[in-house]
Amino acid sequence: MELINNQYLIQNIPVQKIAQSYGTPLYIYNSDKIVNQYHRLCNAFAPLNIEVKYACKALTNISILKLLHQQGAGIDAVSIQELKLALHAGVPPEKILFTPNCVDFEEVQQAISLGVHINIDSISILEQFGQKYGSKVPCCIRINPHILAGGNANISTGHIDSKFGISILQMRHMLRLIESLQIKVIGIHVHTGSDILDLEAFLRGAEVVFEVAEHFKQLEFLDFGSGFKVSYRQGDIATDVEALGKRFVPIFQDFCKRYGRQLALWFEPGKFLVSEAGYLLVQGNVVKTTPATVFVGVNSGMNHLLRPMLYDAHHEIFNLSNPSGTKRIYNIVGYICETDTLGADRQLADVREGHILCIKNAGAYGFSMTSNYNSRLRPAEVLVHEGKAHLIRKREQFEDLLRHQVEFEF
């Protein structure tokens, strides 16, 4: 989003005009940013044979899935429903990796019947898989390397207390099962979680993958997950994927020489691709002054953007309606009957009731974590693509709250 002549634009379209056309609250996504992030990642690891599997839990709108598939991306799905959404969007099964966690084996079987790649992250599922399929269906193994990627354990998945992956300490048990049940392993996967704060954590995880890979002779790819950090506030440190690529490419090439075959390199970015492309527009309903605080109450809340409450996540907020006004300190709060603070002690250009505020970095884990709490309706979604705004999800109506309820007659 650019500020030109005192108005904010996305692909030369005034954002205020989009808000007027579709109302608020409203999610807006910039396709140019998504496409640029995808190619930036691919270019950073050239000339390796790289496969990007978009972690669609970040944002599952089928138009976003289609956009990324059009660019060449595959999909990383964590539920059978995400998998089916990807297929519905036209992504071929061979471009989809199914990485569930704590699911019933029946869901794994359903995914296998749909022809996608299977990623196994527990000894229990691995044993059931081997007994059922043996060497007939190839699979990938997800390893937990016991490496904390970032400073927030809520979004790190590779530490010792994580529920994700087969512990590196269970290596011998895993290998015995694979040998006994003749399981064909074609991929090794590691994902240390979101917010890689430095390159060393990623490279340590890579060494674990290389050590594990030495035990398998039929590998086709190594999957290093993602965890590439984006900037959420001014001065934030983001993962320098270009610098990481320069260091990692020769290391990966050296391993492939030792292994005796050139393997594909897979990544599963979610936030990296879509976070900075998304914005949540909300309207100021009330400006409320108390003895301690000036609140701006908006027509949205934790039901539309849960991350501030769930993770204490920071999202920059600015006044779309008054870009050049005098800066004042506000607490931006929602209309939910909870303490749903979207931003505390924020400097915003002078806010009046009816002004439109913009919440940045709302593309990842924004709409995908929405709810109907307080019986509030989910917002609409708009994709700005090739200089035009396109509605890609309608705003919910009251009838949607009743759609699946069965009314009991007393």
Domain ranges (residues) in the chain: 2-28+275-402, 31-272
The whole model's pTM is what? Answer: 0.93
pLDDT per residue as tens digits for the range 165-217 = 889 899 999 999 999 999 999 999 987 655 666 677 778 878 888 999 999 99
Tokens 């790649």 identify what position? 117
In the structure encoding, which two tokens stand for residue 75, read together? 């999909």
* pLDDT at residue 196 in the model: 65
Catalytic residue among 56, 140, 337, 358: 337
* pLDDT at residue 154 in the model: 42
* pLDDT at residue 197 in the model: 62
pLDDT per residue as tens digits for the range 114-137 = 999 999 999 999 999 999 999 999
* Alpha-carbon span 76 to 272, nearest angstrom: 14
Cβ–Cβ under 8 Å, residues 287 and 351: yes
Q: Which CATH class is domain 31-272?
A: alpha beta
* Alpha-carbon span 171 to 91, nearest angstrom: 33
Query: Checking DSSP bridges between strand 185-190 and strand 264-267, what pairing results, if any?
Result: unpaired
337 tagged catalytic: yes
Mean pLDDT by 10 residues, the chain (410 residues): 94 97 98 98 96 98 98 98 98 97 94 97 95 96 75 44 83 95 96 66 83 94 91 87 94 96 96 97 97 97 96 96 96 96 97 98 98 98 98 98 95
2-28+275-402 classified as CATH 2.40.37.10: yes
Give the three-state DSSP class for 139. strand
* pLDDT at residue 198 in the model: 66
* pLDDT at residue 377 in the model: 98
**Angle, CA of 149, 162 and 372, to the nearest 5°:** 95
Query: Checking DSSP bridges between strand 26-30 and strand 13-14, what pairing results, if any?
Result: unpaired
* Residue 314: its H or E element: none
